A and B are shown apart, each in its own frame.
Chain A
Amino acid sequence: GAGVSQTPSNKVTEKGKYVELRCDPISGHTALYWYRQSLGQGPEFLIYFQGTGAADDSGLPNDRFFAVRPEGSVSTLKIQRTERGDSAVYLCASSLSGGPNTEAFFGQGTRLTVV
């Protein structure tokens, strides 16, 4: 399909393990965003890429979280030494230009469960 694709859709991991979450944005979209949505809450911003560079990483909660977008398309969110509090749905979105009035298209998310 032509939408934002996130893999895996579900991930269960043990506390302390390392995980990678992948986002494949809509082709041609230069802006890519990661959000985290805890149960019963609205999504919280994590990081924003414009092209290959992280334009705003102010939402990353700590240095266990890191994201890359090496070729300006696919992005990977990496979480080291996972904790139970990291359990949430991780949403990826992309937009054509990253402008303030530009519609962001979201993927269906990766549900991460840390046991």
Chain B
Amino acid sequence: AQKITQTQPGMFVQEKEAVTLDCTYDTSDPSYGLFWYKQPSSGEMIFLIYQGSYDQQNATEGRYSLNFQKARKSANLVISASQLGDSAMYFCAMSYYNQGGKLIFGQGTELSVKP
């Protein structure tokens, strides 16, 4: 069964504007972590941000923030002040606390930043 859903196959944003990439997940396990990774055309997956299921505060890392709504099972990524170099595929992923860091990925959202 699909555990991570990213409903936006492609998104466009104007340079310097903010953009939100959606991610919902499905689990009955209370102990999990949520990740966002960026994959440029070079193919390497780059870690952006992490949110634990017990974390009270939303995670932030520079221009990236994670809008964690536990009751809605959503973990949207917000990128502020978009840059041309942000154009890439973005993947939401989940791990369970008892599964050793194994990641379950969504299908991704392709973000294009327009100058």
Are B107 and A42 in contact (CB-based, < 8 A)? yes
- Could you say which interface size class chain B belongs to? 20 to 34
Are B102 and A109 in contact (CB-based, < 8 A)? no
A residues contacting the other copy or chain, number (CB 8 A): 29
Tell me the complex Cα distance, A44–B100, Å. 15
For A45, give its contact among B43, B97, B103 (CB under 8 Å): B103
Are B103 and A101 in contact (CB-based, < 8 A)? no
Are B45 and A91 in contact (CB-based, < 8 A)? yes
- A–B Cβ pairs within 8 angstroms, 14 of them: A33-B101, A42-B93, A43-B103, A48-B101, A89-B43, A93-B45, A98-B101, A99-B100, A99-B101, A100-B97, A101-B33, A102-B101, A103-B50, A104-B45
Are B32 and A42 in contact (CB-based, < 8 A)? no
Tell me the complex Cα distance, A91–B102, Å. 13
Are A50 and B45 in contact (CB-based, < 8 A)? no
Are B45 and A100 in contact (CB-based, < 8 A)? no
As a 0/1 sequence over residues 38 to 53 of chain A, the CB contacts with chain B under 8 angstroms (1 = contact) are: 0011111100101000
B109 CB to closest chain A CB (Å) equals: 10
B45 CB to closest chain A CB (Å) equals: 4
> A20 within 8 Å of B by Cβ?
no
Q: Which of A41, A42, A44, A48 has the most chain B CB atoms inside 10 A of its CB?
A: A42
> A79 within 8 Å of B by Cβ?
no
Are B104 and A45 in contact (CB-based, < 8 A)? yes
Chain B residues lying within 8 Å of A103, measured Cβ to Cβ, are 47, 50
